[in-house]
Amino acid sequence: MSAYMRSGLRVLAACLVAVMTTSVAAGAEPVDRELIPEGRRLLEYLRSIEGKKIIMGKQRSGGGTGPFEQVLHITGREPALRGCDIAGFHPVGSELYHQVLRGAVADMNWWWLEKGGIVNVLYHCGNPMHPEGTAWKNRPKDSKPPDIGKMVAPGTEEYQKFHETLKYTADYLEQLAAARVPLLFAPLHEIDGGWFWWTDLETPENTAALYRQTFNYLVKERNIHNLIWVYHAAHVSWGPHRSQIKKEHNRTPTLEEEAEYRRRFYPGDEYVDIVSMSTYVSRDVYPDWGWGAGWEDARQGAYRLLQRIAPGKPLAINETPHPIHPLVAQQQKLAWLWSRVWFDAPADWQRYTYNHEHMITLDELPLLHDGNVAPNVRIEWPIDGLEAGCGEIDLAGFASDRNGDLESVRLYVLSQPWLEYSERDDRAIKEAFAGARLLGEARLAAAGRWTITWANPSTGFHQLVAMARDSQGLVAHSNVVRITVGLKNLARGKPASASIHQEPNEPTRAVDSDLYTGWWAGVPDKAKGPQWLQVDLESERTIGAVSVLWWKAYATDYTVQISRDAQTWHDVGQIEGRRGYWGDSDVILFQPVQARYVRLYCRKPSVTWQTYCVNDFGVYESIPE
């Protein structure tokens, strides 16, 4: 970008801020009146999509959450909002604590400044009275939760220790403020639930005061002005109102009664920019509201509750296990600003949601700061798992750069298996695949379309990735697409069975052509001893090779067996002491034989939390060596 254009952008940004200052008079003035312009721009953008679209968010890995990067490989798109933490579940002030926070700060800087995405922080403040513990209420074991009433009373030991703990966090938030990274900041996560130390179920007003104290310390005392303040209610509150209503009326609280209790945690409109909630289904707790009817009903209930807690504030889903259903969200007219997903979801569900026009992904975000951001790129054809014939393949996809300086899209054939379960930034990707073979540079066309022809693909297995580069050298990688060329997988779509399976991961999922679904044998307690997965080719065929794409839980020892009648089995291949598997597949070649049934006989699992998971089981006449 030229110097002229850069200064032009700055002028434009200044105008934007000026315009925003006028429009905020209409009710969107941030609660921190000194919020940095980047934060105001973000807040203004959020207001602009309210009721129109929903931002896709995802928690980064750690703390049992699903991998962030896998979304790109499954859907071709990246979440626009990245969930982080600025405290972590580590003893406050320890070396590990600082290490984790340094990493978190680097990650947030990268996501906002280089990727141009939105950063969302769930702040799990460590227990000030037990620095060796965590944010959980009863850790360390047998410890008493702190007295929140004392913690909000100046002069007490609790008050002093809370501020000491907060200081650690403030020091890191300050770094992000200096880098001009605005944060959607949710302190006292799930404020009214009852499982974190800050929730005073008996006197919720104390917790509300603690929120205000956090605000006053960070904003007024420390002058940290990059925070958009997000109130975060829990999906359920274990307050005494519940047992009281049960005792007096023998029922669960009504929506109004629930709201009345929950409102006591709310610190006041002047401390909250956005109101959010975790949404999980809780059948036994909220049958009256239709929470038991499914996830979307749960979200509708959450929406109504939040409207009663803080009328007029914009609303968000700050934690939910799976992506929201776009059609239901549209039908219910729920104006969620974002939906931040905590765990994984089935692959087809993710593909549908991330590619739905109602949902905003990273490539669809406007440019929210004046710097350079990395491009976005995806491969749309071939699709993952495709069986391509021999001869040339036309590849196609999408690429863009949100500050308009896309320079090139190059296609590579990977030299090693894609490690899809590890989180890496684009720099790490570049290094990891420095040895990948360049297929060529794509032709860029209008509307972000690109195409390239692969003239002579060799017969066998291939993994493709696209790298987009901008004029300032930032590189982004696409989803990885795994295809076979010139091989007919005889098992695909055929009847499959197994000795055992864990619902809903049926054996047919190993032959369904989706490389992100699979057969799971189950946990070791249920799937004791050897287990097998079998495919019926429906007629006798000549076979000379099988491929096994494992998920994380693979067999270290297993045998490939064939049969003509599913009664008598012959071993044709054996793997012993398989180690270090992480996202790649085995290919086993043997002397061609006639058979109708092929079986994978698994004898030893590799991990303790699951036995065997096969995402794809392939059977071939032959594979060239």
User: For binding to Ca ion (CB under 5 A), which residues are involved?
Assistant: 372, 401, 403, 405, 470, 509, 512, 514, 517, 615
Is-contact 613 554, C-beta < 8 A? yes
Minimum CB distance to Ca ion smaller for 300 or for 372: 372
Minimum CB distance to Ca ion smaller for 319 or for 470: 470
Q: What angle do CA 563, 569, 573 make, to 5 degrees?
A: 90
Within 10 angstroms of residue 505's Cβ, the number of other Cβ atoms is 20
Minimum CB distance to Ca ion smaller for 297 or for 363: 363
Smallest distance, Ca ion to C-beta of residue 386, A: 13
Minimum CB distance to Ca ion smaller for 191 or for 533: 533
Smallest distance, Ca ion to C-beta of residue 616, A: 5
In the DSSP assignment, the letter for residue 261 is H
Minimum CB distance to Ca ion smaller for 8 or for 290: 8
Is-contact 522 542, C-beta < 8 A? no
Smallest distance, Ca ion to C-beta of residue 519, A: 8
Minimum CB distance to Ca ion smaller for 35 or for 613: 613
**Residue 111 tokens, joined:** 């996501």
C-alpha 106 chain-centroid distance: 18
Task: Say how many CA atoms lie within 13 Å of 207 toward its Cβ.
Answer: 29
DSSP calls for 161-214? HHHHHHHHHHHHHHHHHHTT--EEEE-SSSTTTSSBTT--SS-HHHHHHHHHHH
Residues 6+ apart with CB under 8 A from 436: 412, 413, 414, 415, 465
Number of residue whose CB is nearest Ca ion: 470
Minimum CB distance to Ca ion smaller for 195 or for 582: 582
Amino acid at 424: R
Within 10 angstroms of residue 367's Cβ, the number of other Cβ atoms is 16
In the DSSP assignment, the letter for residue 89 is S
Smallest distance, Ca ion to C-beta of residue 406, A: 7
In the DSSP assignment, the letter for residue 160 is H
Smallest distance, Ca ion to C-beta of residue 116, A: 8
Minimum CB distance to Ca ion smaller for 59 or for 479: 479
Q: Helix 240-249 and helix 255-262: axis angle, to 10°?
A: 150
Q: How many Å apart are CA 513 and CA 335, to the nearest integer?
A: 36
Q: How many Å apart are CA 356 and CA 261, to the nearest integer?
A: 37
Minimum CB distance to Ca ion smaller for 44 or for 401: 401
Smallest distance, Ca ion to C-beta of residue 513, A: 7
Minimum CB distance to Ca ion smaller for 42 or for 113: 113
Q: How many Å apart are CA 587 and CA 583, to the nearest integer?
A: 13
Question: In the sheet that 449-454 helps form, which strands lie side by side, from edge to edge?
Answer: 376-381, 393-400, 449-454, 443-444
Closest alpha carbon to 549 in 471, 496, 614: 614
Is-contact 94 130, C-beta < 8 A? no
Smallest distance, Ca ion to C-beta of residue 562, A: 21
Minimum CB distance to Ca ion smaller for 324 or for 373: 373
Smallest distance, Ca ion to C-beta of residue 514, A: 5
Q: How many Å apart are CA 355 and CA 351, to the nearest integer?
A: 6
Minimum CB distance to Ca ion smaller for 205 or for 370: 370
DSSP calls for 117-137? -EEEEE-----TT-TTS-SBT
Q: How many Å apart are CA 543 and CA 559, to the nearest integer?
A: 16
Smallest distance, Ca ion to C-beta of residue 583, A: 14
Smallest distance, Ca ion to C-beta of residue 381, A: 20
